[in-house]
Amino acid sequence: MLKKDKVKFIVEQLDKFYPRVHPPLNHSNNYTLLIAVLLSANSTDKSVNKVTPNLFKKAHSSDQMMQLSYEELYSIIKPCGLGPAKAKNILNWSPKAKNILALSSILVNEFQGEVPDSFPALEKLPGVGHKTASVVMSQAFGYPAFAVDTHVHRLMYRWGLSSGKSVVQTERDGKRLFPKDKWNKLHLQIIFYGREYCPARNFNPNLCPITSVVGRRTLFK
């Protein structure tokens, strides 16, 4: 099957499975979205959604976050995993960066407390990589972005749409193959589909509605 035919089939199937999608991380504004996405690294959305109600009740803006002590923040986000590192990124206690202000400090001092709407500005914030910036740009500002997480990376490889060598290559291939106006929705659809039908472990390609049709041949040996 040609890639263009695969893409058409995948888009059609995902629209059938998930005609309407909503961001899985609970948030109330752009700042809480940014923090929730940052916390989701090496964690699950379920774990993040358990801790953020308490966290955002105490601090739902950058200036409020700066008022929390390190110990208080760490005690709240600890269930997400990698608590100390994440707490340092949020509160500017990173030992690595002399010239980089902490995420909340930067927002207050340089952006009037608002989350910037550009990739360069977001990716300069402590703890914010390209994937996190892509999620924020797409979900907060509606900017077309093809964010690649572990699910998107895995499925793009299984479906024979990318080599699987790197998330950078997967993003390039996704942007090249899929229509730009579908990127934001596709990101969420692929995540939901991967969790439900195409998991990383105990996977049978013959039982996956999409992979059974478009999956790379090596999966069926």
Residues with a known catalytic role: 131, 149
Distance CA 38, CA 15 (A): 28
Who's near 141: CB < 8 A, 6+ residues apart? 30, 117
Q: For the chain, how many residues are written?
A: 221
